[in-house]
Homo-oligomer: A and B are copies of this chain.
Amino acid sequence: MKIAVQSEPFDLGAEASAFASGHRDMGAIVTFTGVVRDLARGDLDRMVIEHYPGMTLKALEKIANEARDRWSLGDVLVIHRYGDLAPGEMIMMVATASPHRKDAFEAAEFLMDYLKSRAPFWKKEITSDGADWVAAKDEDEDALNRW
C-alpha cells in the first residue's frame, strides 16, 4: 500500500505500471486520476490546493484501510498533491487491485467519495479576476450515503 501527499507532479504511467506489476492473483486493476479542469470561461490561471499536514496522511490511511476492510483488495494506492497546479495537471490518483472487477471498481469509487469530503484538502481557483475557494457540493456529501 502506498499513500503519498506531495507538491511534486506524479507520473500516472509509471505509477500505474508499478502498481499493476507483479500481482499474479489480482485480475482487476482500477485507477482513477483527477485532473485540474479549466473553468467554463477558460480563464483559470491556476488552482491552489491547501491541506492540513498533520492530519492528511492519517486521514488518507484511514480511508484506504476502510476500503481494505470492506472489499477484497490486494493493494491500494493513493497520491494527492497540494500547492499550485495549472489547468491540465494531475491533482491526484487512486488505484485498487482485486481478484474481482466489481471489488476493484467499488473500492476505487469509495476511495474517491471519501477523498472528496473527508480528507483535509481545500481547493482555490485563481483567475485574473481574483481567487475563489471551491465550494463543497451537496452531491459529494450525499455520495457518502451509499457506502
- A residues engaging B (CB < 8 A)? 11-17, 20, 22-38, 87-88, 90, 99, 101, 104-105, 108-109, 112
Which residues of the partner chain B approach A29 to less than 8 Å between Cβ atoms?
A: 12, 31-35
Contacting pair A26 B34 (CB below 8 A)? no
Contact among B11, B26, B31 for A31, CB-based, below 8 A: B31
How many copies of this chain does one complex carry? 2
Contact among B17, B23, B38 for A13, CB-based, below 8 A: B17
Nearest CB in chain B to that of A42: its residue: B24
Contact among B16, B20, B109 for A105, CB-based, below 8 A: B109
Which residues of the partner chain B approach A20 to less than 8 Å between Cβ atoms?
A: 12, 33, 35, 90
Contacting pair A32 B23 (CB below 8 A)? no
Contacting pair B109 A24 (CB below 8 A)? no
Contacting pair B101 A34 (CB below 8 A)? yes
Which residues of the partner chain B approach A14 to less than 8 Å between Cβ atoms?
A: 13
Which residues of the partner chain B approach A101 to less than 8 Å between Cβ atoms?
A: 32, 34, 112
Alpha-carbon distance A13/B105, docked complex (angstroms): 19
Which residues of the partner chain B approach A28 to less than 8 Å between Cβ atoms?
A: 32-35
Q: Contacts A16-B16, A88-B22, A90-B20: A27 and B31 contacting too (C-beta < 8 A)? A: no
Nearest CB in chain B to that of A35: its residue: B27
Known: A16-B16, A31-B31. 6 other contacts (CB 8 A): A24-B38, A25-B37, A28-B33, A29-B33, A32-B101, A34-B101
Alpha-carbon distance A32/B13, docked complex (angstroms): 13
